[in-house]
Amino acid sequence: MPRAEHNISRKDISPNAIKVMYRLNKSGFQAYLVGGGVRDLLLGLSPKDFDIVTDAKPEEVKKLFHNCRLIGRRFRLAHIMFGREIIEVATMRGHHDEEKGGHISKRDSSGMIVRDNVYGSIEEDAERRDFSINALYYNIADYSILDFANGANAIANRRIEMIGDPVARYREDPVRMLRAVRFATKLDMTIEPATADPIHEIADALGGIPAARLFDEMCKLLLAGKAEQNFKMLREFGLFDALFPELGEYLANDASEQDLAFIQAALNNTDQRVNSDQSVTPAFIYAALLWPLVESKARELEAESELSQQDAFQIAASETLDRQQQRTAVPKRFSLMSRDIWTLQLRMPKRQGKRAERLATHPKIRAGFDFLLLRGQVYGGELQQLASWWQQFLESSGIQRGALIRETSSDTPKRSSRRRRPRRKPQPKAAPPSSES
């Protein structure tokens, strides 16, 4: 597609990406803007990242840029750093049955690629791309677009189409199933049947993906303004059960309609915050997703044992987080915050005396209150009243707070102020008189 036939202009591309491509090109290498950057520009969107592909090897790229570092074991990449912006440069990939330059590929027994340092031509690289909408290359040499898999047509028809055999491509990298869902919701596209049909049967293959990588993919799915849609589509394809096995089973068998409504309300709330440029955190999302499961486990433990509510809850929280860690490795800074949000749900009903004032200074009180507010909106009843009280309390100060606390205290049965008379210690009995006296 020559420049006259597409809408991409250099002014829409990051100046740093342009700089990298020109330097590679002037040094005798091919350089193309590739994938999502080209796709989004054709759709009239602003790309989040500008990725580049070249025929230069990673070590050759590093020699050209002093601000470059090489990363990755599965596939070597060059990251060229311009302050906070990172331009990712990849060497064109080849097919796995070839051995080039001493680099070889490797698959495991299921067909998943575990090492991928095989380099090739631009045609081979295009065949290695996942979806046709991502096999588009913007050539800095003449400003044309190379379209190897009818990607422009797929964009026009708003369809997600796998390049090659979908089953084989999903087995090579099961995360492609999550990417199909994410692109479909992000770009308002449909997954064409041949690409969609195998997903349900292969969903369990996600179990072989490192838990840390799955957490990163979940963040992309849940923190980009399409969390509620992604949640529904993940469940539809059976992918959610592969990512959250215990929660998936609970939602299918034991959860109430309100439990599901609460999760969807939390995801919708997150979407609203993202789309209005407010801050969001994985900790709140994970707290909301796992809350119905934690609460159900805690009630069960409390009923079956002599544990207090607090102890039963802490055990349920620990067990739930530990099991989830095995599938999506949540960093400790987020899992600890999720626990804080949960613990605040137990503490916030206890408002008498100085408790409310002390709790209002808790570093996570705002997140805990937002969580309580959502619970009140969905479950209603006393939770809604409690959330309303805390809203008034947090928005007031001084005399108003005192009045709210007194009002709460008056609703709580008071202990008798009469002091209990101490029990008298029994006097030791006198020893019987000795027979000798």
Q: Could you read off the pLDDT of 314-332 as tens digits, one per residue?
A: 999 999 999 999 999 999 9
The sheet that has 145-147: what strands, in order across it? 68-71, 77-82, 85-91, 51-54, 31-34, 136-139, 145-147
| Catalytic-role residue among 40, 51, 125, 147 | 51
Residue 102 is predicted with a pLDDT of 41
Residue 417 is predicted with a pLDDT of 42
Is residue 128 assigned to a domain? yes
Is residue 97 assigned to a domain? yes
Residues 6+ positions from 47 with CB-CB distance below 8 Å: 36, 37, 40, 41
Residue 397 is predicted with a pLDDT of 83
Domain containing 130 equals 1-157
Q: 147 - beta bridge partners?
A: 136
Is residue 168 assigned to a domain? no
Contact 42, 7 (CB under 8 A): yes
Residue 49 appears among annotated catalytic residues: yes
Is residue 388 assigned to a domain? no
Cα distance between residue 300 and residue 294, in whole Å: 10
pTM score: 0.84
Is residue 247 assigned to a domain? no
| Catalytic-role residue among 49, 173, 204, 340 | 49
**CATH of residue 20:** 3.30.460.10
Residue 130 appears among annotated catalytic residues: yes
The length of the chain is 437
Residue 425 is predicted with a pLDDT of 57
Is residue 40 assigned to a domain? yes
Cα distance between residue 240 and residue 43, in whole Å: 29
Is residue 114 assigned to a domain? yes
Residue 402 is predicted with a pLDDT of 87
Residue 73 is predicted with a pLDDT of 74
Is residue 9 assigned to a domain? yes
Residue 40 appears among annotated catalytic residues: no
**Which residues does the chain have with pLDDT short of 50?**
98-105, 113-114, 413-419, 435-437
| Catalytic-role residue among 130, 147, 241, 271 | 130
Write the single-letter amino acid at 299.
Answer: R
pLDDT tens, residue by residue, 109-151: 555 544 556 888 999 999 999 999 999 999 999 999 999 999 9
* Total of domains in the chain: 1
* Token pair belonging to 202: 């292969």
| Beta-carbon count within 10 A of 392 CB | 14
Write the single-letter amino acid at 287.
Answer: A
